[in-house]
Amino acid sequence: TWTDLSVAASALLLLVAYSPSLLAGYWSPRAALALVLGAVGLPRLVSLYRSPLRLPALAATAFLAVASIAALASDDRRASLLGIFNWGTGWFFVAALVGAWAAGASTTAHGRVLIEQAVVAGVLVNVVLGVAEVAVDLSRFSLRVQGGRAPALLGNSVHLGAVAAAGTVFFASRVSAGRTRWLWAIGAAAAAVQVSGSRTALGVLAGVLIWVALRNPHKVSALVVAAAIVGLGGGSLATRIGGGAQETSSSRRLLVVESGGLGARLGVWEAAAKAIVHRPLLGAGPGRFRAATLARRSRAAAQAEGFDHIFVDAHNLLVEYATTTGLAGVACLLVWLFTGARRGSGPLLAVALALLAAHLLEPQAAATTPVAFLLLGAASTAGAASPSRPPLGVQVAVAVLAVLALFGAAHLLIGDWWLNQAHLDRRVSQGRHAVSVLPPWPVSALELSLSYVFTGQDRHDPSQFVAATHWLRVAVQRDRTDPTLWDSLADEELSDGFAQDAAAHYRQALRLDPWSLRARNGLGHVEQSLGHADNARQWFKASLALDPNQPGLVKELARLPG
């Protein structure tokens, strides 16, 4: 059916869609696609109310309803609807997840086969590219190792690891059916897990191998495990031969004090618990996790994160939605996942659960999260009757929502193209195009401000700096909870000689993020510009007390008079 084809195509494109001509090249194409997929799936919930999937469909609807109320009750409705640029997780993202599940649950038996084939193809593409990234130089194709770890086409190494580990289920099911040629894919997937450097993915892979061992004869299990072990070794060898990656999954230690490791997550979850107590029923609103938790972090949590490196996602699906949609929202989510999983079976369900397991320690993404819910929906249909043709009203609703979603998706992609042009060329006209086309995220106003700064420096025109400050203020107004925007505004004001304004805005950044090094250093520079050496010294020392590893600041402190 048309639904089968569109859902299978979406599953493939969510895993491989990428464009280097966009500023958010890994995110924008997938966010646009998820928006359309959600629009196609949401009206189909009506048909599912009269099917064996009635209970999970009602729970999904309840989750979306609670998220909608939470967004309306949020302190910033616009930000709660849109989420954060290059991240998502706002109300539209929640609606896309519900729609993706409903679209998957509306497929036929043939559609489920197509979906599995599409995901297998998407996983293989990422697995091969991930290993290739560390073995050879792919920078000419805008593909390169990031932070010593391979991301493939997913933009983040942890997502490559999760997809490769979960995809092993499909490869193992083919081996168990006697198609031993798929052992190479298991080895390649394990190698991709290794070069991704993701410890979570390594744990998911271990869980998948245990699942395979429990469901298959000893001979098949031994072959699968052996292929995975060889693949892990091959991944380590690839990093040594190519030199592109510095870390592998098995070489990284699970230290609670490591930046970005378990310690950072525990600290973020502690701050989330305080936010949940503050707004227990409906939460802070979808996409507002950072706003709800940032000021509630302890010093240990901020240090584990890396101070000015801020988690905008809980790195745990349940903690995320308990914070943003409240206990009511996470209760609906749990019922939805439990009842949906109970109706499912087979490799589709196993892959969906493996991806969701990775979401207990890793962030949501426009690639992996919609695919997990789509697969959960498709797996659920295996225990239900074949979906019937939807009523005419549902078909009309699908058509209308699809047209609206296509319009929004086009705006996102065109706007991001202009945004990338402004980022590359720093032309004011390009930045203005981005501002006019993109939804009101701060990023377009920020890029336009930088274009004005560049133009002012190039033409020696002070009026351009006035315009730059104006657009920085616009960016701040679009998200008043982002301390980095306040810092950027203060930096420009200090550069233009408005020290008092800069001081006020650095202090606002410090109120939002009490452990910010950038704000402390900025206040020190303000006092320095005013000739208050003693006050500047106090701010610099306060910054160094948090992080002594700032050699430039140490030299600046030594140069202060007195």
CA 302 to chain centre: 20
Please give the C-alpha separations between residue 261 and each of 267, 303, 319, 548, in angstroms, as whole numbers. 10, 11, 17, 21
Could you tell me if 322 and 275 are in contact, meaning their C-beta atoms sit under 8 angstroms apart? Answer: no
Is residue 247 predicted with pLDDT exceeding 70?
no
Positive or negative, the Cα torsion across 375, 196, 92, 40? negative
CB neighbour class for 550 (10 Å; exposed up to 12, middle 13-18, buried from 19):
middle
Alpha helices in 460-547 (DSSP H): 462-478, 483-495, 499-512, 517-529, 533-546
pLDDT digits over 507-535, tens only? 999 999 999 999 999 999 999 999 999 99
Amino acid at 88: G
pLDDT bracket for residue 257 (50, 70, 90): very low
Average pLDDT over residues 105-134: 95
Cα(466)–Cα(360) distance, integer angstroms: 46
The rounded mean pLDDT for the chain is 92
pLDDT at 243: 59
Tokens of 311: 């988690």
Q: Which residue has the higher pLDDT, 141 or 165?
A: 165
pLDDT digits over 172-182, tens only? 999 999 999 99
Percentages of the chain per state (helix, strand, coil), in multiples of 5: 75, 0, 25
Helix axes 326-342, 54-72, angle to 10 degrees: 160
pLDDT at 550: 93
pLDDT at 249: 62
pLDDT bracket for residue 384 (50, 70, 90): low
Of 312, 211, 317, 310, nearest in space to 516 by CA: 310
pLDDT digits over 12-30, tens only? 999 999 999 999 999 999 9
Percent of the chain past pLDDT 70, that is, above it, reads: 95
pLDDT at 255: 42
pLDDT digits over 430-463, tens only? 999 999 999 999 999 999 999 999 999 999 999 9
Tokens of 104: 């998957």
Least confident of 10-24, 80-94, 382-396, 546-560: 382-396
CB environment 312-336: b (16+ within 10 A), e (fewer): bbbbbbebbbbbbbbbbbbbbbebb
Amino acid at 259: S
Residue 14 burial (CB count, 10 A): 26
pLDDT at 382: 56
Backbone angles phi, psi at 524, to 5 degrees: -65, -40
> Phi-psi bin for 145: left (phi > 0), alpha (psi -120 to 50), beta?
beta
Of 380, 145, 341, 313, nearest in space to 243 by CA: 145
Average pLDDT over residues 359-373: 96
pLDDT digits over 65-76, tens only? 999 999 999 999
pLDDT at 383: 47
Is residue 149 predicted with pLDDT exceeding 70?
yes
Of 280, 276, 285, nearest in space to 68 by CA: 285
pLDDT bracket for residue 147 (50, 70, 90): confident
Is residue 262 predicted with pLDDT exceeding 60?
yes
pLDDT digits over 410-422, tens only? 999 999 999 999 9
pLDDT at 310: 87
pLDDT bracket for residue 256 (50, 70, 90): very low
How large is the C-alpha radius of gyration of the chain? 25
Least confident of 48-57, 233-242, 261-270, 377-386: 377-386
Kindly report the CA angle at 187 between 185 and 188, in degrees rounded to 5? 60
Is residue 258 predicted with pLDDT exceeding 60?
no
pLDDT digits over 87-96, tens only? 989 999 999 9
> Can you tell me whether residue 64 is helix, strand or coil?
helix
Cα(355)–Cα(61) distance, integer angstroms: 22
pLDDT at 23: 95
Average pLDDT over residues 24-47: 95
Q: In what helix (H) or strand (E) does residue 198 lie, and over which residues does it extend? A: none
Is residue 315 predicted with pLDDT exceeding 80?
yes
